[in-house]
Amino acid sequence: MNDEGGTAPTADDDTAGAASAGASTDAATPEAALVATAHAWLAQDPDGETRAQLRAVIERAEAGEDDAAADLADRFGGRLAFGTAGLRGELGAGSNRMNRVLVAQAAAGLAAYVRERAGLAADVGEDEDPDTAPVVVIGFDGRRNSDVFARDSAEIFAGAGLRAMLLPRLLPTPVLAFAVRHLDAAAGVMVTASHNPPNDNGYKVYLGGEDAGSQIVSPADAEIAAHIERVAAEGDIAALPRSLAFAHAPESVVEEYVAATAAVAPAPEGADGLRWVYTAMHGVGWETFSRILEAAGYPQPVPVAAQLEPDGAFPTVAFPNPEEPGAMDLAFETAREAGAELVIANDPDADRLAVAIPDAGADGGWRRLTGNQIGLLLGWRAARLTAEAGAPDGASLACSLVSSPGLAAVAEHYGLDAHATLTGFKWISRAPGIVFGFEEALGYLVNPETVRDKDGISAAIAMLGMAAEARGRGLGVADLLTEFDATFGSFASDQISVRVDDVSTIARIMAALRAEHPSAVGGVAVDRVDDLLEGVDGLPPGDVLRLWLADGSRVVVRPSGTEPKLKLYLDVRGDSPDDAAARIGALTDGARALLAGID
C-alpha cells in the first residue's frame, strides 16, 4: 500500500482480469505460455502507450498471426540484463524492452540493495529515522520517458524509506555523477541512453561511500540484479510501496558543478577573439555548458542552432553519436560559414567530447580528431599541471587497455604512474592516484576530485583552455599535435569493427584465436599474447586478447559490450608521423587478413 500520497500504477480492470486468468492457467504450448506471460505483464503496466501496444500484439498472436507470435517471443523471450552498465535497450512493452515496469523493478531492486548495504532491514521499520536514511539522487536527460522513469524511481526509492532526491530538471550525466559525491549519496541513477539510437533509453547506476561516486562494478551488479529478479518474480509493481515524499535537489548542486568545472581551465589571454562552433547534438549539454563558459571567461560559440536544444527525436542526425559518419556535418557546415578555428561537440547526455579542426586535406575542410588524439593532448595537459604543482606520490594517468599506449609515455616523461584498465569508466575512475583518465571512445575524466566518470563538459573546458593557450602563441590545435609527436613520439591507432548477425560468430572467432595464437600479424612476429580471461596485470578477468608484436605494435581483440560486434584495436609507435602512418596501415591490413583466415 502506498504512503504519503504516492499513487500506485494500475491497469484497466478487464486487462487485469485477463492477465490473472492467463497467468494462472497452465499453458499447453510455448506460444500459449508467451501469451500468458504477456497478459501478466499487461496487468501491471501503468503506461497507456505501451499497454495499447502490447494489447494489439497479444490480440494478433491469439488470432494466430505468426509475426505477432515472433514479436511476443522477442519482447518476452529474455530480459534486459542488469550489469555494470545498468540497463539499456529499446523502448517498448515487455521484459526485453525499456519501460515503466522494468524501471520500477530496477528501482525497487536497487533500493533493496542500498538498504542492505546500509545494514537496514528489508522492510521499513517504524523506528527508522528518515533524516538519517541513505540518500539516492536521480537525474534524467531529454530522451523519451527519461523524466517519467526518473520520477517513478524517486517515488519507489522514497517508498522504500530512502531519501530520494530528484535533480531539478533535465541535466547532463556528469551533473548527476557530481551530485552523488557532492550530496554524499549512497547511490545515484542517471536515466539516459547516452548516444544510442532515438528509441533507446537506459538506467545507469553509481555508488557512493567507498565507491566514491563511480559506476557500479562486480559484484555489486550481480547483487543488485538478484534483488531486481526477486522483485520481478513477485509479479506486480502495483504492490511496490511508493511515496511522494521525495525531494528536488537544490539548484545549488548545479551551481557548484558549474563553479567546479569553470575552475578546471579559466580562460587564458589567448581566449579573446577565439571563434569556435558548438553542437549539443540535440542533447542536454548546452544550458549547463553555457553557464560554465561565462563563469570561466570564454567567448560564446557560434552554435549549431538546429541541434542546440534537447530533442529526443534527434531529427537532424541518423545516429546521435559524434563518432558516426555524418553526425557532425551540420557542425562542419556552420564552422565553414563562421570561419571557425575549432569545433566542440558533446553527445546527447554530454558525457563525451568530440573535437574537430580545420584541415585543407580533409573532405569539406574539417577533420574530427580521434579519441586517442584528444586523450593524449588532455593527458599531456594534466601531467604538466600535476608536475608543476608537485605531483604527490602515486599520482597517475589512466586509460582503458584499448586506448593509446602514448599515455604511458606521457606519464613516464613527467614521472607519474600509468594504469591500463578494463574498458569503461567504471574501471578507469578507480585507478589508484588518478589525476586524468580517458578511453578512445571520446570519454575523458579531467576533474576526478569532483566527478568520477567521463565528463564531456569539463573536458571541453580543458580543451578550450589548451586551444586558447596555443592561440596565444600563434598556434592552433594541429600544432599541439605536432608538438606532442616531437616530445613523446609518433603514435597512431586504428580500429576494425566486425558486425555479425549471429553473436555466436564472435565466440567462435575468440575461441579460434585462443586455440592457436597467431604467429605474426602483417608480416610482423607476435612476441607474446595476453589472455585476460586468465587474469593479467592484476586486471579482473575479461574476454580480451592482447597481442604484442616484435616491433612494439599492439593488437587488442574483444567483443563489444553493447553491440553484436567484434572489435580490434591497433596501435603503433613510429619514428615520425609518416612512419607511424605507414606502420598502422600495414598493421590494419594484416589484422584484416588474420580475421579473413579464420574459418
Of 242, 227, 197, 287, the residue nearest 106 (C-alpha): 227
Residue 283: phi, psi to the nearest 5? -105, -160
Which DSSP helix (H) or strand (E) runs through 525? strand 524-531
194 belongs to the catalytic site: yes
Distance CA 139, CA 529 (A): 42
DSSP state letters, 342-394: EEEEE-TTS--EEEEEE-TTSGGGEEEPPHHHHHHHHHHHHHHHHHHT-PPTT
Which member of 95, 146, 153, 194 is catalytic? 194
Residue of 105, 114, 199, 103 lying closest to 150 (CA atoms): 103
- Please report, as a single letter, which amino acid is at residue 239: A
Asked whether the beta carbons of 570 and 495 are under 8 A apart, the reply is: yes
How distant, in Å, are the alpha carbons of 438, 542, 543 from that of 423? 10, 10, 11
| DSSP states of 157-226 | HHHTT-EEEE-SS---HHHHHHHHHHTT-SEEEEE--TTS-TTEEEEEEEE-GGGTTEEP-TTHHHHHHH
The rounded distance, in Å, linking the Cα atoms of 53 and 510 is 39
Residue 202: all three cell numbers together? 537506459
The 10 Å CB-count burial string (b at 16+, else e) for 397-414 is: bbbbbbbbbbbbbbbeeb
Q: How far apart are CA 586 and CA 523, in angstroms?
A: 9
Beta bridge partner(s), residue 438: 399, 444
C-alpha–C-alpha distance, residues 422 and 592, integer Å? 24
Tell me the CA end-to-end span of the chain in Å, nearest whole number: 59
For the beta carbon of residue 121, count every other beta carbon within 10 angstroms.
Answer: 10
| Cα 192 to Cα 349: distance, rounded to the nearest angstrom | 7
**Mind telling me the catalytic residues?**
194
